[in-house]
Amino acid sequence: MFLITAAHADTAPVSSGGGFDIMSFLPIILIFGVFYFLILRPQQIKAKKHQQTLGGLRRGDRVVTNGGIIGTISKIVNEQEIQLEIDENVKVRFMRAMITDILSKNEPVASEPSKPKAPKKSKE
């Protein structure tokens, strides 16, 4: 009969296993960095711009909803709702967040006519 001895195929030194190797995590860190700069950051910038656009809505602005309806803002009901006039005597209430684009903005109406200011006196 043959006697089988222990195989010594693995001759690599055995590591202690307790060390931390930053190079093994570097690819994962790079993937998250690329993910942030290519996907998350542009999306945050776009959402912030959209919020600013929605905050600047006022009566008389011509807008497009996410359903493709084009109308003129006839009334701002509250912080979440607006009333659009989509045709003569046809008014519809929409959520403010459903506005996707502003086609034309009206200039703000001055509440009082502007009065000419007196010239400043210079000290001599």
Tell whether 92 is covered by a domain: yes
Tell whether 113 is covered by a domain: no
- Beta-sheet strands, E only, within 1-124: 62-65, 70-76, 81-87, 90-95, 99-104
| pLDDT above 80: residue 98 | yes
Tell whether 16 is covered by a domain: no
Tell whether 33 is covered by a domain: no
Tell whether 121 is covered by a domain: no
Pick 15 or 107 by higher pLDDT: 107
Structural domain count of the chain: 1
pLDDT tens string 18-57: 567 888 888 999 999 999 999 999 999 999 999 998 888 8
Tell whether 62 is covered by a domain: yes
User: Using 50, 70 and 90 to split pLDDT, how confident is the model at 16?
Assistant: low
Q: What values do phi and psi take at 23, rounded to 5?
A: -65, -25
Tell whether 4 is covered by a domain: no
Residue 97 sits in which domain range?
58-107
Q: Quick one: pLDDT at residue 57?
A: 87
**CB neighbours of residue 85 within 10 Å:** 14
| pLDDT above 70: residue 8 | no
Mean of the per-residue pLDDT values of the chain: 80
Q: Is 21 left (phi over 0), alpha (psi -120 to 50) or beta?
A: beta
Q: Quick one: pLDDT at residue 45?
A: 95
Is the torsion defined by CA of 106, 111, 113, 116 positive or negative?
A: negative
- Give the count of alpha carbons within 13 A of 41, CB side only: 7
Tell whether 98 is covered by a domain: yes
The CATH number for 75's domain is 2.30.30
